Amino acid sequence: MSNHNSLPPRRFSSTPPNNGSRSGLVPTNNVTTTEGVTVRARIDPTLTVADVVRQLCVNLKIKGSPSDFALRDDKYELVTNDNLRKKIKAKLDLKLVSAPNKEGREIAEKIRTRDLKTDMKLTLHTLQKYIRENEFAQEFISYDGVTQLVDIISSSQGNTLAYALTAMQNLMDLDYGWEKLDEAFIFRVVQVLSSSNSLINVCRPATAILKKLVEADPASAPGPQAGSSKGPAVVPGSVYRYGFTVVFEQMRKEKSFLETVVSRLGSADTAMAHMMLINSLLSHASDIRWEEFVSEMERFKVRKAVVRLMSQHTMEDLTSCILDFQANILRVTYRKKSTPVDFETQPSHLANIKYIWNHSKLIEELDDNGQQIKWRKLGFDSEDIEMEFSDVGVLGLECFKRFVERDPDFSKVTFALHVLKTAHADVIKQVVLEQLSRPAERRCPIAKASNEVVELLSEHWAIFAPGYSTSTTFQPFFLDFYRVHALATNFFLRMWSESGAASDDFSRVVALVRSQVKVALRSENVRPWHEVELDLLECEYRAVRDRQMKELELEDDLLNKVPVRNLRAKIYKESYEFVRQQRIQCLLQGAWFVIGIPSTSPLPRDSRRPIKPWRFMRLDTGLKYLHYVDSATKFPVRSGLEDLPERIEVAAISEIATGTCVPPPNVLRDHSDLPPTGPLLPSPLSFSLLSANEEQRSSLADQIAPDQSRWADWTDGLNLLRRDGGHVASKETAGFVQALTEIGLKIKLLDLSGEMVEIPSGLTAGLPPNTDFFFSHLI
């Protein structure tokens, strides 16, 4: 390479230099030409990139039209009019290279011919770097490059496949160019992920491609949708034409796909990518395939794999993915609870109830009036089995079935007999024999008890609405819902037996179980599982009763009545929706932040004040982009987006990481409204917007909020805007939802208690004794 560093620096300017100025006023950059010649040049930052390139071509006598050339920095990032000034002031080394549109044509031609002279890996490596650029992508697409790239993905292996998949992943960051990807391509990506021999650098882009396809459904398309009653219509030529159903149809063809994806959660190298794919699938599952998909995930024990990650993971990035998964499972649980049991149209529902009946070893009988006695033997109040599950839905049916599966002596349990395998087996055996001699009214209604435990656990984990989870910590016990239900139901049966309860004492035993559930499930994120088992298997009736009596002295029994619990659930939905809208309104209003320095990056060598330490951010009314401006000082920002020239696409944000940045030097001492922190310690009020590229995990923006409220507004608000769902990051937001719920509940109850209205524990709709009645017309 020739080097002319000894020559005087050349100056490229639209105006003659000021003779009275020092030469250092204009920074000097090294520029390397396409022939490998490096020169020093002083570039006027007021010029456009086209002007700089033209003057370089003229002064250095570069052959060819200036429009065929462009500038890139030493990391091959394209120099544009927006970033030219920043790169010049940073004195970055620049390279004069082929223009993006010319590169797009040339690379499309290379992967089309694929002759022996072409280094395909190098070509694809270049392609994956440039494909995100609009000029390059448009030319590459127009020359049929996408079709050729798909062909390479279909026929290659190893690193060549990895480079091709990464190029496709990067292309899909654009909202055009990949709308013709067909089912064969999707199935090929599914096959790649299903293979146990796939390399890590192959799995990551393949996972990201499927995730992007799942999220590219018509409902996610920007702008108004003129859809029919069946849902948003597919806009011709749009990439928003795929979605969950399209991807899942190809997943079903490869039987080992989901099992392989779940198994890779145990690998630190692939856990994050696969967790993000699972979360995306859960949050976008269609109504048609929802039950089938969730059943498959349960069959491959995805919850167990995530619980294992909670205790083993060392990557901080996984925390956000795990909390997202918890929020998705809460939505799944709520949907099951609110889905009615239907034995006529749902074969799986009928199979579950038949399993329960067959394992009960009971015989259907007729009472003295000739009416059927079947489901009442299991502990239901009536023979209308679908109505019995009306409050707990499919979740209650599945919990009851899982309870039967876990208990080898279920046929004895149906008579309120449950042999606990503990050191007190002889004592329990005596209790069992004693129960056998009791009349029917003294037997515990096991089915009713099971449903009541579902209600208690739903209340404990706030499964009131299909929205986001208000938990800011790990909930491993919640992810093991069926196991907790089985333990709590066993506890219910034991309390019934030890307290000598009768049918009229059902609500009293419920109160005992509610009290013990709160104790057993306390501090869920730090307690080991064996302590939960100990609290529910070994705790004696007298100790539970004594504690519950003390609790009754401190709380109002009115709050535990079923109508009040239902009222709380309704107010909870209203409260979190109110807080959600408030958070989003804060984003629409905008706020000032300090631009943070990632804690993993080296601090600037000098301690001078940054040129632009402040950033104002605002969400657009379409909820698609975050617009912002960096500034040396705070200034009154006008409404709208005129003062905010930069923007970040919300869809490109895969995670809102917190506690990631340190403040820039010498900003804290000048502004008392910044959060106090050491110069080298990450601020607790900092957060970063991480890109959707799982391989690089680059940050789109790093900032520090001025106070806790602003931090909670933005971290939670941004989480709630993500396509793949979200979780609450701050205890402040979770506390607001709970506080509003309790205040709203107490206000409603004041209306009733002020009128001295008695709230019953439950209402039963009695049947009329005959048909000798008519409906009166009200005037």
Residue 90 lies in a domain: yes
Residue 748 lies in a domain: no
Residues 592 and 721 both lie in one domain? yes
Residue 128 lies in a domain: yes
Q: Which whole number is the average pLDDT over 488-500?
A: 90
Residues 523 and 650 both lie in one domain? no
| Strand segments (E) across 591-704 | 591-595, 597-598, 614-619, 625-631, 646-649, 653-658, 661-662, 686-691, 699-704
Split at pLDDT 50, 70, 90, the class of 681 is confident
Please state the domain count of the chain. Answer: 4
Split at pLDDT 50, 70, 90, the class of 305 is very high
Question: Which of residues 778 and 29 earns the better pLDDT score?
Answer: 29
What is the per-residue pLDDT for 655?
A: 79
What is the per-residue pLDDT for 621?
A: 87
What is the per-residue pLDDT for 143?
A: 92
Split at pLDDT 50, 70, 90, the class of 430 is very low
Residue 593 pairs in a beta bridge with: 615
Residue 765 lies in a domain: no
Residues 94 and 105 both lie in one domain? no
Contact between 271 and 313 under an 8 Å Cβ cutoff? The reply is yes
Residues 669 and 581 both lie in one domain? yes
Residue 259 lies in a domain: yes
Task: Give percent of the chain with pLDDT exceeding 90.
Answer: 34
Q: Which whole number is the average pLDDT over 463-480?
A: 80
321, 337, 353 — which closes off a domain? 337
Question: Which of residues 116 and 44 earns the better pLDDT score?
Answer: 44
Domain with 132 in it: what CATH number?
A: 1.25.10.10
Of the candidate ranges 25-39, 74-88, 753-767, the one whose mean pLDDT is the lowest: 753-767
- pLDDT of 607 > 80? The answer is no
What is the per-residue pLDDT for 408?
A: 55
Burial class (CB in 10 A: 0-12, 13-18, 19+), 655: buried
Residues 202 and 291 both lie in one domain? yes
Domain with 647 in it: what CATH number?
A: 2.30.29.30
Question: Which of residues 658 and 466 earns the better pLDDT score?
Answer: 658
Split at pLDDT 50, 70, 90, the class of 683 is confident
Residues 91 and 119 both lie in one domain? no
Q: Which whole number is the average pLDDT over 326-353?
A: 92
Q: Which whole number is the average pLDDT over 402-416?
A: 64
Residues 185 and 317 both lie in one domain? yes
Residue 697 lies in a domain: yes
What is the per-residue pLDDT for 773?
A: 65
What is the per-residue pLDDT for 489?
A: 92
What is the per-residue pLDDT for 296?
A: 92
Q: Which whole number is the average pLDDT over 699-711?
A: 89
Domain with 79 in it: what CATH number?
A: 3.10.20.90
Query: How far apart (Å, rounded) are the C-alpha atoms in residues 526 and 566?
Result: 30
What is the per-residue pLDDT for 306?
A: 93
Closest C-alpha among 464, 462, 217, 480 to residue 335: 464
Residues 146 and 121 both lie in one domain? yes
Of the candidate ranges 133-137, 249-253, 677-681, 729-733, the one whose mean pLDDT is the lowest: 677-681
Taking the model in full, what pTM does it have?
Answer: 0.75
Closest C-alpha among 13, 81, 93, 96 to residue 48: 81
What is the per-residue pLDDT for 21?
A: 39
70, 98, 126 — which closes off a domain? 98
Split at pLDDT 50, 70, 90, the class of 747 is confident
- pLDDT of 424 > 50? The answer is no
Task: Give percent of the chain with pLDDT exceeding 70.
Answer: 79
Q: Which whole number is the average pLDDT over 689-702?
A: 71
What is the per-residue pLDDT for 198?
A: 82
Quick: pLDDT tens for 624-640.
889 999 988 899 998 88
CA separation, residue 472 to residues 83, 320, 686, 723 (Å): 38, 10, 17, 19
Residues 123 and 251 both lie in one domain? yes
Of the candidate ranges 81-85, 331-335, 585-589, the one whose mean pLDDT is the lowest: 81-85
Closest C-alpha among 116, 112, 175, 166 to residue 140: 112
What is the domain extent for residue 591? 573-602+609-733
55, 81, 98 — which closes off a domain? 98
What is the per-residue pLDDT for 152?
A: 94
Residue 2 lies in a domain: no
Residue 774 lies in a domain: no
Residues 424 and 468 both lie in one domain? yes
Of the candidate ranges 139-148, 475-484, 565-574, 704-713, the one whose mean pLDDT is the lowest: 565-574
Residues 475 and 540 both lie in one domain? yes
What is the per-residue pLDDT for 593?
A: 93
Residues 6 or more apart in contact with residue 525 via CB below 8 angstroms: 473, 474, 475, 476
Residues 77 and 184 both lie in one domain? no
Query: How far apart (Å, rounded) are the C-alpha atoms in residues 156 and 229?
Result: 43
What is the per-residue pLDDT for 769?
A: 64
